[in-house]
Amino acid sequence: MKVSQYGPVQHTGDLLRDERKRPGSQYGELIEKYIKEGAIVPVEITISLLKRAMDQTMAANVQKYKFLIDGFPRNEDNLQGWNKTMDGKADVSFVLFFDCDNEICIGRCLERGKSSGRSDDNRESLEKRLHTYLQSTKPIIDQYEKMGKVRKVDASKSVDEVFGKVVNIFDKEG
């Protein structure tokens, strides 16, 4: 893995949260409504924020043309939007799938909720998010799996173990 080729990790959730709090944003209220409901924000908004962040990184340094995108694509709409906008502009090398039991995920997010200030780190939103994941996101992972692009990591393990596994994957493929 050549770290120098990588731009900063693009967290679609963070991009949306930043846009939500940007003064004068026409999408702020709408984004908050979706996030609180654990629902998926319309792709036009997410992809324009994502593409802008990637374009800005590459404009500042042409050597940074690889990106790890966290939390995308989350549904069929995201996938179609990505294919339409990025056709001929970006290749997906692989998909990192952090496989973890629902209750462990909920427990970790509730723990995070003690200090995160996130409006969706509560049991009600988290259960809706799990429902959204099963209904909308899992089928997208299955599609990438069929293309042989999924690299699965057992995320129930400790932070160090999970990190080690991820580093191995990037060393091999990144």
Binding site for ligand AMP (CB under 6 A): 12-13, 16, 34-35, 38-41, 46, 71-72, 74, 78, 120, 129
Q: Do 1 and 171 meet the contact criterion of CB atoms below 8 Å apart? A: yes
- Minimal CB distance to ligand AMP: which residue? 13
Nearer to ligand AMP, 130 or 169 (CB): 130
Task: Compute the distance between CA of residue 50 and CA of residue 77 in angstroms, rounded to an integer.
Answer: 15
Count the neighbouring beta carbons within 10 Å of the beta carbon of residue 109: 18
Nearer to ligand AMP, 67 or 74 (CB): 74
21 class by beta-carbon count within 10 Å (0-12 exposed, 13-18 middle, 19+ buried): exposed
Nearer to ligand AMP, 54 or 129 (CB): 129
Distance of CA 21 to the CA centre of its chain: 19
Q: Which two tokens stand for residue 46?
A: 């997410």
Minimum Å gap between C-beta 114 and ligand AMP is: 16
Nearer to ligand AMP, 7 or 10 (CB): 10
Minimum Å gap between C-beta 71 and ligand AMP is: 4
Minimum Å gap between C-beta 59 and ligand AMP is: 23
Nearer to ligand AMP, 71 or 174 (CB): 71
End-to-end CA separation in angstroms for the chain? 5
Q: Considering only CA atoms, give the Rg of the chain.
A: 16
Minimum Å gap between C-beta 13 and ligand AMP is: 2
Q: Do 85 and 47 meet the contact criterion of CB atoms below 8 Å apart? A: yes
> Residues, the chain, total?
174
Minimum Å gap between C-beta 73 and ligand AMP is: 6
